Amino acid sequence: MLDALAASLKAGDPAKFFGSQQHRKASGRQSGSPEGYTEWLHTAPAGTSVHAGAPPATSKAFSDLVLLASCEMPKNTAIQTAVESMLENLGLNVALGPARCGASRPDLPEHIGGMMHFPEPRATKPGAAVAFEVVEFLERNLFEEELLARKRQLGGRMTYLMLPKNDPKPSGEEDEEEEESKEELSAENTDVLWLPAEFSATRQRMRKHCWYGFGETSSIRSRVRKGSTDSGNLKVAIFDAEFEAAKELRGKAVLPSKLCSLLALTMTMDDDTYWMHDNECPEAVAQLMHKISAYWRTTLLSKSDSELGIGASDREVWGKLLRRCQVNFESSCEFAKIRFNCVPGPPRKKRAGSAAAAAPGKARRV
């Protein structure tokens, strides 16, 4: 059934993805209890219309969906992580459109426990559902399949970013011929940066909070989405708050978490740099960029690979990524001098005079 569904998606037929983290609130198929729906989730074959298992009150709303997967996960699991995990386990590589988790709440929370209808007091195993429209079925080449296989071998502990080895052209400079003849991803043209698995969920949360005000009041959400000078002011404050929160992270293995948070923040700030010149606080922008780059240079990247949870071969890729951000940031603010030097320089060599002074029994140069 999955092969047939994948072929249907690849052919461009209208199809939807329906995933259930734990179990959706439901009155059950027959008995009025959630157990009937729960049993259906565990036994229905992939590709079955959700209409067949949905309770009467919601069957019409979900009649255009098909079941691909269901799984039980702790309520503190990030939704992004849960969905990616299910898709990878199914072997499906698809581009997903906007999520749906209920008519009255279109936005997804960060964790499963924050989903609409969670928890349901009447259910022995409460849960929620989320639906995504499949926009496109994506082909993976051998290079991408090998990366995915390695990710699976690592047991879900790591994820990865793929970055072009050559610096991309500034926006607007690519012509149509270049866009049509883009190279297939390979080890020759693509750098791979391996990161702790939590990065995926952290990056998703950071984007939603900083660009759309997710988790803020309705007034803040409205203001931050306008794209005005007031939005620029708010984004400076939100980015600064996220930076301070990253610094305050505590725990046994806190450095990898700080690394993920700061990278997610840096990439989110770099997604669109209009906020750097459309604001009323250029000095605050310059100060923020100075603080973040100094933290990268002196607190994070000065640590060992094992402390950060990265591989030794990733250091060069880190440098490329952060230098690309540096170029964008330093050219995006008209009213303040921006410096964003994140990468530590090579260790300084000791002068001969200092070495002689340190060695016992040797004359000191004057």
Residue-wise pLDDT tens for the chain (366 aa)?
455 555 554 554 443 333 333 333 333 333 334 455 556 666 777 667 666 555 544 444 455 566 776 777 777 777 777 777 777 776 667 666 666 554 444 466 677 766 655 444 444 555 556 666 666 667 778 898 899 889 889 887 889 999 998 876 554 454 555 554 567 889 999 999 999 989 988 998 999 899 989 889 989 999 998 889 999 999 999 999 999 999 999 877 799 999 999 999 999 999 999 999 999 999 999 999 999 999 999 999 999 888 888 877 788 899 999 999 999 999 998 888 999 999 886 665 656 555 555 555 554 443
Q: Which pLDDT score is estimated for 42?
A: 64
Considering Cα of 89, then 92, then 95, then 101, what sign does the dihedral take?
Answer: negative
Within-domain flag for 365: no
Within-domain flag for 193: yes
Query: What residues does 96 pair with on adjacent strands?
Result: 134
* CA 192 from centroid of its chain's CA atoms: 15
Q: Which pLDDT score is estimated for 20?
A: 36
State the Cα–Cα distance between residues 20 and 339, nearest whole angstrom: 46
Within-domain flag for 364: no
Question: 99: buried, middle or exposed (CB in 10 Å: 19+, 13-18, 0-12)?
Answer: middle
Within-domain flag for 279: yes
Q: Which pLDDT score is estimated for 25?
A: 37
Amino acid at 71: C
- For residue 28, the tally of other CB atoms under 10 A from its CB is 18
3-state secondary structure at position 95: strand
| Closest listed residue to residue 210, CA positions, set 151, 267, 295 | 267
The residues, ordered by sequence, that sit 6+ positions from 114 with a Cβ below 8 Å of its Cβ are none
Within-domain flag for 176: no
State the Cα–Cα distance between residues 77 and 80, nearest whole angstrom: 9
Residues 36 and 108 in one domain: yes
Residues 159 and 77 in one domain: no
Residues 14 and 58 in one domain: yes
Tokens coding 162: 């793929």
**pTM exceeds 0.85:** no
Residues 230 and 83 in one domain: no
Residues 63 and 24 in one domain: yes
Tokens coding 83: 């969905």
Residues 109 and 153 in one domain: no
Residues 238 and 98 in one domain: no
Residues 133 and 235 in one domain: no
| Closest listed residue to residue 332, CA positions, set 276, 284, 289 | 276
* Domains held by the chain: number: 2
Q: Are 18 and 62 in contact (CB under 8 A)?
A: yes
Measured N-to-C along each axis, helices 198-212 and 229-247 cross at an angle, to the nearest 10 degrees, of 150
Residues 254 and 220 in one domain: yes
Within-domain flag for 360: no
State the Cα–Cα distance between residues 94 and 143, nearest whole angstrom: 17
Residues 164 and 310 in one domain: yes
Q: Which pLDDT score is estimated for 82?
A: 74
Q: Which pLDDT score is estimated for 201?
A: 87
Q: Which pLDDT score is estimated for 251?
A: 78
Provide the domain limits for residue 128: 2-137
| Closest listed residue to residue 237, CA positions, set 280, 293, 300 | 280
Query: What residues does 193 pair with on adjacent strands?
Result: 161
Q: Which pLDDT score is estimated for 351?
A: 60
- For residue 202, the tally of other CB atoms under 10 A from its CB is 25
Residues 146 and 204 in one domain: yes
CA angle 35/41/43 to nearest 5° reads 100
Within-domain flag for 180: no
Residues 99 and 149 in one domain: no
CA angle 122/124/126 to nearest 5° reads 75
Within-domain flag for 339: no
Q: Which pLDDT score is estimated for 34?
A: 46
- In angstroms, the first-to-last Cα distance of the chain is 84
